[in-house]
Chain A
Amino acid sequence: MLNVKNLKAKIDGKEILKGLNIEVKPGEVHAIMGPNGSGKSTLSNVLAGRDNYDATDGTVMFEGKDLLTLLPEDRAREGIFLAFQYPVEIPGVSNLEFLKTSLECLHTYQKKPLLSAVEFMKLAREKCRLVDLDTGFLKRGVNEGFSGGEKKRNEIMQMLMLEPKLCLLDETDSGLDIDALKVVADGINQLRSPDRSFILITHYQRLLDYVQPDFVHVLADGKIIKSGGSELALELEEKGYSWLESGTEQSANPLKV
């Protein structure tokens, strides 16, 4: 599904990703872990096509298409979904309006029949319930005045609505209490299917208690320095990152776990 080869990327002229390789097959769940500043968020932003995140080398193929040449909206329409680490507020634009527009754009591109207003509302209400958001949220502005946890649940709710092929979750677990974390995990597990893949970017192991990954990768200084099964996450939790770090180049920032 996704094949990233030797990906290098710069932000403001500074190289953050320094030759990253990863392959994700349909149905797989990959967790990418790593210390602060290792390039985790850069990876998700480069994959989603954010401005100023310039891929300088390497290739990213998504279902046989060169992802790096696509506009962000076309990547979304191809089935890539990014759950943002810090979802932005859009005052005055209701979630309902936003989701409807989004869904219509996706369905038009994917040549699927559009939902009627009634079908759409039914679906939206149902997904809201799944992530434990009051349906009143639908009428409020996108993320406007939402708490941190509500914003994250809103991201998952959108993911459930849009049914993407590849879900990138950028630290969706950070700042969540245990109940909210379970809601997020339930959302992910519900969407798991043989043709849908996930990349969970996370700092901590705790999300992985609820979502069992097939592979765990450790990202440090812009490269994947170790890969393994879900047991690797437990090992990281126990020992921190520094034991891995010793073999790689010295990073500018002291590493924190």
Chain B
Amino acid sequence: MNNLQQITTDFSNEHTSQKNLWLQGIRDAASERLKALQLPTQKTEDWKYLKLEELLADEQLDVQSMQVRNSKSDDDIDELLSQSLIKDLNAYRLVFVNGVFVNGLSHLDSNPYSTLFSEANTAQQQLIVDHLDTSHNYYHDYFSSLNSAQLEDGLLIHIPEHCEVDKPFYIVNLTQGDQPKTNMMRLLIIAETGSKATIIEHEDAPLKHTSMVNTVIECFVNDKAHITHSRLQLDESVTSICNHRVKQGHHSTYQQHQISLASKLKRNDLTVSLQGEYASNDIRGSFYGRHQQTIDNHICMQHIAPNCSSNEVFRGLVDDQANAVFNGRIHIHPNAQKTLAELSNKNLLLSSTATINTKPELEIYADDVRCSHGATVGQINSEALFYLQSRGIPRVEAKRLLSLAFIAEIVEQLPHNSVREFVTQRSSSLLSSLHHEGER
């Protein structure tokens, strides 16, 4: 029997955490849900491009207990790890290593907005319990249920009403150490009415250590709140499944930038529900897959209230034997008149053994709406390539430049100079290893 199924059957008996008993209700409900759920197979439309059992065969999906770090080498490793962080970023820095909060690497002073679940006061505990797992289709999701069932800790960011946070939150999740293990990450963002904040998430594995991360992010952007949320997934060695739900109130805005490097498996599920009128969002992402990596992006835009607008722009680069999936769904509910929704997904296939599956979907139940989507798959423009070559730029370098230009539209939108520079530098060095054949 696959160890994954094993968990589902006897999970609730053995692995129930004794920590933070006030979360027991959440854990129990999730355990109950899990009994009816199974690991998705290719027969499930949303998972049809992944051989999930194969990809996760070596992973340990249950957490025995919080990972204990080897105290002897902590300082050395911390020093090493700190070098992988974005420099010159004036931010509220919150660093986790293998899912454990590391004080020494974080800047917690004068950050009144965030707390670990384990350190939450009574009011915060209530807030957490009131919000966790309240997004609509959590119920059917295997991995987020698994996350909730094993929930021991998490990070709460709570922006009070009409508060404009002075500097960004910089949340770093690092993987370090070599034994296979699963980290459950949980992030809860609550932006109260009229508040404003920027959140930068950075996932990395500077020592190329492997692990599996099962992340759940819930983001409540209340009325007239404005959230900018950047997610840098730069951990190529980490298998990652991320469920990310956003709920938007009226006149709120939500901007997301996602920069993703593929890994053995990287699955991103993002669902945004526009629940209040005149809410708008702008979701931009770029992904890059190489070697035998897999990346699977599922974006679902739920237009529930009228007069909202959404815009999604995704760029994909797929090289070597990598397999990339993009599924972008726009769902206009019957009441959501005067909706404006757009989606664009463009991809460059860089090698003859890579695969891209793209499926932009429209599901429309209201007539007075303007929706459009577009998807393209192509290769680097040979004329542009030749133009650069004719100016003396080597072919490989020219390909690198053009690939960078292809995702520039996304990278340029990142908040803060230092973040943009960091990402540009990382992508640039990655792309210099571009596949050498693939075009005629």
Is there a contact between chains A and B in the complex with CB atoms less than 8 Å apart? Answer: no
Which residues of A pack against B, CB within 8 Å? none
Which residues of B pack against A, CB within 8 Å? none
